[in-house]
Amino acid sequence: MKFMTILFIALVIGAMSSPLPIRATAVGGSGRDMGLGHMAQQCVATELSPCLPAVTLGGTPTVDCCGKLNEQKPCLCGYIKNPAYSMYITSPNAHKVFTACNVPYPSC
């Protein structure tokens, strides 16, 4: 059982350390017009690594996890649509993390 947990965590870390960033654009916008000329946010899944223990093992998310989850709100739909990350974002434990962090689950 411990071996499978360690193997699963290693796979999660490998998937979350993908060098391919995901771009987020403003909802209802083209990505060029985001208010004051801000560029679209770069979405890097590894920034959510503080949430990894809570998502994979089911525990209470840390304050750092909740902060990163709030920062990455515009990126969540991109993560859900990405096969490398979707199983983590859509897992039952991830739903618990969203609830604990007061982050609404994205409707993509």
Per-domain residue ranges of the chain: 9-19+45-100
What's the token pair of residue 25? 């654009």
pLDDT over 50 at 90, yes or no:
yes
Model pLDDT, residue 58: 92
Mean of the per-residue pLDDT values for the chain? 75
Model pLDDT, residue 1: 53
Q: Which residues 6+ apart lie within 8 Å of 24 measured at CB?
A: 40, 41, 43, 74, 75, 77, 78
pTM: 0.64
Among 12-16, 40-44, 62-66, which stretch is predicted with the lowest mean pLDDT?
A: 12-16
Q: What is the CATH number of domain 9-19+45-100?
A: 1.10.110.10
pLDDT over 50 at 24, yes or no:
no
In angstroms, the CA 55 to CA 92 distance is 8
- pLDDT, average across residues 21-41: 44
pLDDT bracket for residue 48 (50, 70, 90)? very high
Phi and psi of 35, rounded to 5°? 100, -95
